[in-house]
A and B are shown apart, each in its own frame.
Chain A
Amino acid sequence: MLNSGTIRWNHVLGRAFIYLMLGAFALYYLIPLFVMVVTSLKPLDEIRSGNLLSLPMQPTFEAWGIAWNSACTGVQCNGLQGYFYNSMIMVIPAMLISTLLGAMNGYVLTKWKFPGSNVVFSMLLVGCFIPFQVILLPMAKVLGMVGLAGSLPGLVMVHVIYGLAFTTLFFRNYYITIPDELINAARIDGASFWTTFFKIILPLSTPIIVVSTIWQFTQIWNDFLFGVIYSSGEQQPITVALNNLVNTSTGVKRYNVDMAGAIIAALPTLFVYVVAGKYFVRGLTAGSVKG
């Protein structure tokens, strides 16, 4: 009796320890978010008198208004608003075009293979691995030549081109699991290339379309490297504007505005993560294990 009692007691202790550790890790991930939120709601004097974790005594959305409407991002002082829209205008076409092209590529690479199609795929896959620094200078030159330097359409083009390797990989790995018999049967019935694609393949593709669009949305929204190099002035995406806002060194440092700005920049991707986390994680593992 005593013995089994000790064992049970040990078991309870063990479980409690596991939950304690898991809770500690959860705090580790949540505290920075908590700090961001409370800081953004405090007036500046409370930030100076309190500490990171102290709750706002007079919560105010003033810093949010400033971050959105009037904070300085370099020379301009119109807040993040315009840059938020810039990011939207850039993300949506780039995400849709690269996903559509990826779907068509994946379809050809699995169901309409021809001599050399695998070579094209291998050539494209290199794009998943290279550090983008190695294409930055030539790309800047090309964007200048076609008159898209410093503009949002130029950024859309860059994101489509360098997102294509990932979207193609997603769709190719997904379509490879669709049995060829399905396509062959349709072909015998006289269905054309495009009929098969639109009538058979696309209706089966919903999950992978979700994975690909979410992946592209997050990647492109969060991008800073291409944004900081290939855009300028009023055409910058929000990540670049946020970085400018935080590092604009005129006047008093307003940490509450910085935090409100950071949350604004994070909201769209956080929203996508909360709504469609499962697909996000799937893209993450598929996109980074890289086939």
Chain B
Amino acid sequence: MVTKWLERIMPRLVLAPTFVIALVFIHGFILLNAWLSFSSSNLMPKYDWAGFIQYERLFANERTAVAATNLFIFATLFILICLFLGLLMAILLDQRIRGEGVIRTIYLYPMALSFIVTGTAWKWILNPGLGFEKLMHDIGFETFQFDWLVNSEMAIYTVVIAGVWQSSGFVMALFLAGLRGIDESIIKAAQIDGASLPTIYRKIIIPGMRPVFFSAFIILAHIAIKSFDLVMALTGGGPGYSSDLPATFMYTFAFTRGQIGIGAASAMMMLMTVMAVIVPYLYSELRSQRHA
């Protein structure tokens, strides 16, 4: 009797810990963080109600604008360059290439690295004095200057350089899978009609890959908004706070400067940014699934 009952509730029993985890550690924590962002917390978390004070402080802080602008610059360039390089490499690789497997392996290996490793490597490559600059001097460009890493106007662009190196191969893999999924017979028909290869790509294949563009965009935007390790390893947010992103801003305020309330408020802003990107995507996904 008991075993039968146990057997019947077993599925619920197995899923119960996951339910608790999702309820407490995901949704509960988001609510708790939201509460902190409306509290008067500073050095210690306080669970009171202070209205929008932390948000006012957040938006009054000059570092906020820097982090937001940097995110905009970084995300735009990072996404566009990754999409462009990814698509280009995928198209090149799709031309019945000998040794495709090896080439793909090479293009994708940076994805297996930690952003801390990538950041460390590029920090050395971009080193003003001994890095890329010295290399250019040695091959004859003696007045070449490259100091982006220590130039507060340009530091954020070094994050773009390293970020693109790490993630563009992955976008290539997404596009390549998309290219392979396109119906061969449509392409054959166009060829018979005398369409040239560039026309076929421009008019048939690339428009046919809209869903891939869409998901690649979402993934890259997600990576960009959450970027933390790369900045920490490459520039540490500096010089000064000139290459801060929202994630490093949040870390600094919540965990090193003891401004928990502002940290919590900035985390809420990050959550909303992600939602603004992902909710429309999920919505359209669900709708197309229902129609299919």
Contact = CB atoms under 8 A, between A and B. Distances in A.
Interface string A158-173: 0001101100100000
A172 to B, nearest CB: 11
Interface string B258-274: 00100110111011001
A193 B11 contact: yes
Nearest to B114: A222
B215 interface: yes
A98 to B, nearest CB: 11
A124 B20 CA distance: 10
Contacts of B28: 138
Contact of B33 (A30, A54, A134, A270): A134
B45 interface: yes
A216 B95 CA distance: 34
A33 B124 CA distance: 12
Nearest to B246: A133
Contacts of A198: none
Contacts of B67: none
B232 A117 contact: no
B158 to A, nearest CB: 13
B192 interface: no
Contacts, number: 247
A134 B268 contact: yes
A18 B274 contact: no
Interface stretch (A71-79, A146-154, A202-210, A258-266): A258-266
A21 B15 contact: no
Contact of A224 (B21, B95, B232): B232
Contacts of B33: 134-135, 137-138
Given A101-B17, A259-B124, A270 B109 contact: yes
Interface in B102-119: 103, 105-117
Interface residues of A, number: 89
A131 interface: yes
Interface stretch (B54-62, B75-83, B179-187, B247-255): B247-255
Contacts of A18: 92, 95, 97
Given A101-B17, A133-B267, A285-B174, A29 B116 contact: no
Contact of B26 (A21, A127, A243): A127
B48 to A, nearest CB: 15
A120 B226 contact: no
Contact of A120 (B15, B105, B177, B266): B15
Interface stretch (A1-9, A56-64, A88-96, A104-112): A104-112
Given A101-B17, A123-B27, A112 B11 contact: yes
A40 to B, nearest CB: 10
A185 interface: no
Interface residues of B, number: 89
B254 A247 contact: no
Main secondary structure of the interface of A (DSSP, over half): helix
A112 B9 CA distance: 10
A120 B254 contact: no
A281 B47 CA distance: 44
A242 B120 contact: yes
Given A32-B122, A138-B33, A22 B18 contact: no
Interface of B: 7, 10-12, 14-15, 17-19, 21-23, 25-30, 32-33, 36, 45, 85, 88-89, 92-93, 95, 97, 103, 105-117, 120-125, 127, 130-132, 134-135, 137-138, 165, 169-170, 173-174, 177, 215, 219, 222, 225-226, 228-229, 232-233, 236, 246-247, 250-251, 254-255, 260, 263-264, 266-268, 270-271, 274, 278
| Ranked 7 nearest A-B pairs via Cβ | A222-B114, A112-B11, A273-B112, A224-B229, A138-B29, A133-B267, A123-B22
9 contacts: A25-B92, A35-B124, A51-B137, A107-B14, A131-B274, A165-B26, A225-B251, A258-B124, A261-B120
Interface of A: 15, 18-19, 21-22, 25-26, 28-30, 32-33, 35-36, 39, 47-48, 51-54, 101, 104-105, 107-109, 112-114, 117, 120, 123-124, 126-127, 129-141, 161-162, 164-165, 168, 192-194, 218, 221-225, 228-229, 239, 242-243, 246-247, 255, 258-259, 261-262, 265-266, 269-270, 272-274, 277, 280-281, 284-285, 288-289
